[in-house]
Amino acid sequence: MQLDLPIHELGDQLRRAWHEHNSLVLVAPTGSGKTTQVCQLLHADGVLSGQRIVILQPRRVAARSVAKRVAEEAAVELGGLVGYQVRFDERLTDKTEIAFVTEGILLRWLQSNPTLDGIGAVLFDEFHERNLLSDIALALCKQLQQTARPELRLIVMSATLEAGPVAAYLGSPHLQPLPHGGRGASPPLPEGEGLGV
């Protein structure tokens, strides 16, 4: 993990939130570490008992490059603990616990595995870039959570999303660090501030 990123300032709040709620909306500036760090924090926490964490990326190139970055940070070979799957390209094994995929891949998985057995969390990254596939994926995951998989964790992440409507839809809290910057800026959050829950 890259501990100098601002998202780590929310580490305790994130852990508490995903232990107390099965859905969460996280809004943090670009460069704060949402994409690469939240999945690693969730994995390290052990709350999912070895189940796979799936991170949705809106573009294939992002799924590949972020998976490579997270594998490097975790000092593991790509395709082992950390992997990806996009159309016509896959670096996943049965041992992959952190998987970066596009929305289309998740929808295909839902067709063949409607209860997402083996998956403990779905993270919707860059959700402000919403499209039909991401909206369908979120709706299906929420429906699954309300019926067969109440323990399935859903985390919606964005740099610019208006969190209120999505949090209301999911019935979840939202975490929002103070807008003190992302890349290259990481002053500490003042005590007791920085969250809108």
| 3-state SS string for 100-154 | EEEHHHHHHHHHHCCCCCCEEEEEECCHHHCCHHHHHHHHHHHHHHHCCCCCCEE
Residue 186 pLDDT exceeds 70: no
Lowest mean pLDDT among 11-25, 57-71, 134-148: 11-25
Burial of 104 (0-12, 13-18, 19+ CB in 10 A): middle
Angstrom distances, CA of residue 116 to CA of 47, 141, 176: 17, 9, 29
Where does the chain have alpha helices with state H? 11-20, 34-45, 60-74, 103-112, 132-146, 163-170
Q: What is the pLDDT of residue 34?
A: 93
The share of the chain scoring above pLDDT 90, in percent, equals 68
Residue 191 pLDDT exceeds 50: no
Strands 174-175 and 119-124: unpaired
Domains observed in the chain: 6-175 (3.40.50.300)
Residue 58 pLDDT exceeds 80: yes
How would residue 128 be classed by pLDDT, with cut points 50, 70 and 90? very high
Q: What is the pLDDT of residue 9?
A: 84
The string of pLDDT tens digits covering residues 87-121 is 999 999 999 999 999 999 999 999 999 999 999 99
Question: At CA 105, angle to CA 182 and CA 145, rounded to 5?
Answer: 80
Q: What is the pLDDT of residue 93?
A: 96
Residue 47 pLDDT exceeds 90: no
Q: How far apart are CA 50 and CA 52, in angstroms?
A: 6
Q: What is the pLDDT of residue 177?
A: 59
Strands 23-27 and 82-86: unpaired
How would residue 182 be classed by pLDDT, with cut points 50, 70 and 90? very low
Q: What is the pLDDT of residue 161?
A: 87
Average pLDDT over residues 46-55: 92
Average pLDDT over residues 131-144: 96
Average pLDDT over residues 58-71: 97
How would residue 54 be classed by pLDDT, with cut points 50, 70 and 90? very high
